């Protein structure tokens, strides 16, 4: 049975939920709302166009490790992308791998507005409330990326993305060196220029620093490697933030 959701987000709280780190995961799910079907878009459902495979698992693991709280989106990014501002051309993506996304082709303004009300606004309200409830030093967004994108092979294994937290990112990267992973700053995407919209928006509004992790999906698909990555991220942030 295909997953159907009725709520835009999930809040996960471990322990008291008070920690120097609050987490978020904008592309945690490839589920569709009740009443919406993949239809001709069925090929997209398991792919990175629909969600970030493995990202939700890492988010949950880190939330437990930090005894913190996290907000995870519960619908596919193709319903609406919560990591985009409302004016973004890819808020409702209508092309993937050169093929039309029929969920969004010719989407009427009325339906666009309803998706904003049902799925985008509640997610951001929940994340804002979580950041305000548990004031922390860092808002950490967790994403994953495909090892091959439009024919380009990516050798980076873990990307540390930032908009303005240059010093914090450098410290975290230094602390991650013992992991043996191929780690790069602002790869495979840059966090600059609004590309980590959700994390940066809420961090800025709550006096926090914003970091985004990009983790390669083929590694996250292997439980032992996913655990290795998660453990080193936990150790690095504890070392840098001193908790």
pLDDT exceeds 60 at position 2: no
Continuous H helices in the chain: 55-66, 109-115, 121-133, 166-176, 197-205, 217-220, 223-241
pTM over 0.85: yes
For position 63, what pLDDT does the model report? 98
Angle, in degrees to the nearest 10, between helices 223-241 and 166-176: 130
pLDDT tier, 3 (very low <50, low <70, confident <90, very high otherwise): low
Partners of residue 21 on adjacent β-strands: 138
CATH number for the region 4-241 comes to 3.40.630.40
Q: In whole angstroms, what separates CA 1 from the centre of its chain?
A: 25
pLDDT exceeds 80 at position 157: yes
CB of 74 within 8 A of CB of 31?
Answer: yes
pLDDT tier, 1 (very low <50, low <70, confident <90, very high otherwise): very low
Higher pLDDT, 194 or 139: 139
Query: Domain-by-domain residue ranges, the chain?
Result: 4-241
CA torsion angle 223 225 231 237 (round to 10): -120
Predicted confidence (pLDDT) per residue in 15-33, tens digit: 988 999 999 999 999 999 9
Predicted confidence (pLDDT) per residue in 30-69, tens digit: 999 999 999 999 999 999 999 999 999 999 999 999 999 9
pLDDT exceeds 80 at position 148: yes
**Rounded mean pLDDT, 215-231:** 97
For position 48, what pLDDT does the model report? 95
For position 135, what pLDDT does the model report? 82
Angle, in degrees to the nearest 10, between helices 55-66 and 223-241: 40
CB of 211 within 8 A of CB of 160?
Answer: yes
Total length of the chain? 243
**Token pair for 105:** 């082709």
pLDDT exceeds 50 at position 7: yes
**Rounded mean pLDDT, 168-180:** 98
């Amino acid at each position: 049975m295909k997953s159907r959701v009725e709520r835009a987000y999930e809040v996960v709280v471990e322990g008291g939920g008070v920690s120097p780190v609050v987490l978020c995961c904008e592309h945690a799910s490839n589920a569709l709302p009740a009443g919406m079907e993949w239809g001709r878009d069925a090929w997209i459902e398991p792919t990175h166009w629909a969600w970030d495979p493995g990202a939700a698992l890492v988010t949950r693991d880190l939330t437990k490790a930090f005894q913190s709280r996290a907000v995870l989106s519960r619908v596919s990014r193709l319903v609406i992308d919560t990591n985009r501002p409302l004016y973004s051309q890819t808020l409702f993506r209508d092309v993937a791998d050169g093929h039309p996304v029929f969920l969004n082709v010719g989407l009427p303004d009325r339906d666009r507005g309803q998706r904003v009300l049902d799925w985008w606004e509640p997610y951001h309200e929940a994340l804002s409330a979580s950041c305000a409830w548990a004031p922390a030093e860092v808002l950490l967004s967790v994403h994953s990326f495909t090892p091959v994108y439009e024919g380009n092979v990516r050798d980076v294994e873990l990307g540390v993305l930032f908009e303005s937290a240059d010093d914090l990112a450098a410290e975290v990267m230094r602390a991650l060196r013992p992991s043996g992973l191929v780690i790069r700053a602002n790869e495979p995407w840059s966090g600059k220029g609004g590309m980590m919209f959700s994390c940066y928006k809420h961090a800025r509004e709550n006096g926090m620093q914003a970091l985004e992790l990009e983790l390669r999906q083929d590694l996250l698909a292997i439980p032992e490697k996913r655990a290795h990555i998660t453990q080193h991220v936990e150790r690095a942030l504890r070392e840098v933030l001193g908790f």
